[in-house]
Chains A and B, each alone.
Chain A
């Protein structure tokens, strides 16, 4: 039992199989709820709720007419799914004894997180989705705008790396001779045990919430359960979409990028099946908004250190920096909603919603998607060669 616990509940899971599991789960989620796995739309609605407390009427804004702002988060598929993600990530972090308040390195870093979060939230909502809806679950919708967003995000991440590594954003290295003192093993063991039990108590509570939402509707109950799984998986696998885009430019990491591409490959056939059976795919405008949004999103997530799903599980682990990034995301998304008439009117609404399955037929669209994913895999591998054994050639 203790070795099972160590293996599955403490040790992190390898990212590639975890991402494939996320891809498969996201396809089922789409078939069951009729919407894709997405989070930023819900964050923006939170911004709308906050504004309405101050007497504004965001429900009359055109952007919230697209998104919908009825009821509370608990009455919406996206809302219960996001709540599920937070609880799932928290359960998993507790089981691993990995919850603890982590203070940010400096105030400057915190401001950087807020600014990055705002830019990322703004870019994501401009393109109608984040690393999920306009990327990981957008490409399996066969929406062309998701491809534009993905490549623009990688480009934006390059800009983000340039800014992030500027001298005024670097801290001096804290290096000392010899080893450092680690926490007392006995105190640590007691703390781990407490968190382990707390994690199970929280899961019981989550099941009670699930039962309550199933009473309201099947879609709400399922969305909550899937949220638990999504949040648990991203925490267990430490799935960082930011790293996938950013580290193409910094150190040449490949694992997460491969995992994301393979996860989408696994999702595509599932979403394709659901679409063939009549579930309507979510297709968005292929306008400058997708490209500009992608660049801003890529820049913002690198500056902040995490994207919309990244901050969620890190915040649950107690990384205070990412609480601020999350607030930034909500602010950024809400800004898009506030200026949507100007932004959308110029950058999105006049452009067509391009669906690969309609443009090239079902077989052609599916084939083209897999070809695109394969080409992306090759590009990631070719890029990584720039970094291999860089030390030896120097």
Chain B
């Protein structure tokens, strides 16, 4: 989908397990401005389900979930307040 767009920030969570992955992702998103794009890279397979669910529940848009062998990459957008 929007994988061509370059992320504004990248969060490297390799070696970390839950709940740190989820908490760190939400903490980083909170510091970002509307319209910005965050890339998250983890090597914990569980985050494949967890991070998109958390991001959506907390009002962000998870645009992409990718697997690169033992690495997982997520693209999450901070929505603009004016609408979709």
Contact = CB atoms under 8 A, between A and B. Distances in A.
A73 interface: no
DSSP class of A's interface residues: helix, strand, loop or mixed? loop
A251 B54 contact: yes
Contact of B57 (A238, A253, A306): A253
Interface string A152-183: 00000000010011000011011111111011
Contact of B59 (A170, A256, A305, A392): A392
A242 B69 contact: no
Contacts of A173: 11, 24, 27-28
Given A105-B15, A174-B12, A253 B54 contact: yes
Scoring A102, A175, A182, A251 by chain B CB atoms within 10 A of each residue's CB, the highest score goes to: A251
Interface residues of A, number: 61
B18 to A, nearest CB: 6
Interface in A343-394: 384, 387-392
Interface in A93-115: 96-100, 102-106, 109
Contacts of A256: 49
Contacts of B60: 391
Contacts of B27: 173
Place the interface of chain B in its size category: 35 or more
A161 B69 contact: no
Contacts of B30: 391
Interface stretch (A41-49, A280-288, A316-324): A316-324
Interface string B1-20: 00000111111111111111
Given A180-B10, A243-B46, A251-B54, A191 B69 contact: yes
A188 B69 contact: yes
Contact of B17 (A15, A178, A305): A305
Nearest to A173: B24
B45 interface: yes
Contact of B12 (A104, A176, A243, A247): A176
Contact of B49 (A177, A252, A255, A391): A255
A255 B57 CA distance: 12
Interface string B27-60: 1111000000001010111101110011001111
A174 B23 contact: no
A10 B24 contact: no
Contacts of A106: 15
Contacts of A387: 57-58
A11 B44 CA distance: 14
A250 interface: yes
A240 B16 contact: no
B22 interface: yes
Given A175-B9, A180-B41, A250 B22 contact: yes
19 contacts: A10-B67, A15-B49, A98-B70, A106-B15, A109-B17, A165-B23, A173-B24, A174-B13, A175-B9, A176-B9, A176-B10, A180-B41, A182-B73, A183-B71, A238-B49, A251-B50, A252-B54, A321-B17, A390-B59
Given A97-B69, A175-B12, 5 more contacts: A178-B9, A180-B12, A183-B69, A240-B18, A255-B49
Interface of B: 6-20, 22-24, 26-30, 39, 41, 43-46, 48-50, 53-54, 57-60, 67-71, 73
